[in-house]
Amino acid sequence: METLLTGLRAAAEVTRLRLLALCAQGELTVSDLTDILGQSQPRVSRHLKLLCEAGLLDRFREGNFVFYCLARAGAGGDLARRLVELLPVEDPVVGLDRERLEAVKRRRAAAAAAYFRVNAAHWDRIRSLHVDDGEVEAALVTLLPPAGIGDLLDIGTGTGRILEVLGPKAERAVGIDLSREMLAVARVNLERAACDNCSVRQGDMYQLPFAGGSFDAVVIHQVLHYAERPERAIVEAARVLRPGGRLVVVDFAPHELEYLRAEHAHRRLGFSAGEIMGWCRAAGLVVATPVRLAGDPLTVLLWPSRRPAPEAMAAAPERLAAGAD
Cβ atoms of 7 and 80 within 8 Å: the answer is yes
How far apart are alpha carbons 22 and 93 in whole angstroms?
A: 11
Cβ atoms of 34 and 104 within 8 Å: the answer is no
Q: Which domains does the chain have, with CATH numbers?
A: 2-102 (1.10.10.10), 129-324 (3.40.50.150)
CA 147 to chain centre: 21
How far apart are alpha carbons 314 and 212 in whole angstroms?
A: 12
CA dihedral 74, 78, 81, 83 (to 10 degrees): -120
In this predicted structure, what is the pLDDT of residue 193?
Answer: 93
In tens, the pLDDT along 275-288 reads 999 999 999 999 99
In this predicted structure, what is the pLDDT of residue 320?
Answer: 43
Contacts with 64 (C-beta within 8 Å, 6 or more apart), sequence order: none
Closest of 20, 53, 18 to residue 38, by C-alpha? 18
Closest of 303, 306, 295 to residue 135, by C-alpha? 295
Walk across the sheet containing 57-62 and list its strands. 28-29, 65-70, 57-62
Cβ atoms of 307 and 242 within 8 Å: the answer is yes
Cβ atoms of 189 and 160 within 8 Å: the answer is yes
In tens, the pLDDT along 17-49 reads 999 999 998 889 999 999 999 999 999 999 999
- Reported as a pLDDT band with limits 50, 70 and 90, residue 114 is confident
In tens, the pLDDT along 152-195 reads 999 999 889 999 999 999 999 999 998 888 898 899 999 999 99
Q: What is the reported pTM? A: 0.75
CA 142 to chain centre: 20
Amino acid at 205: M
CA 288 to chain centre: 25
Neighbours of 28 (CB within 10 A): 22
Residue 217 has pLDDT above 90, yes or no: yes
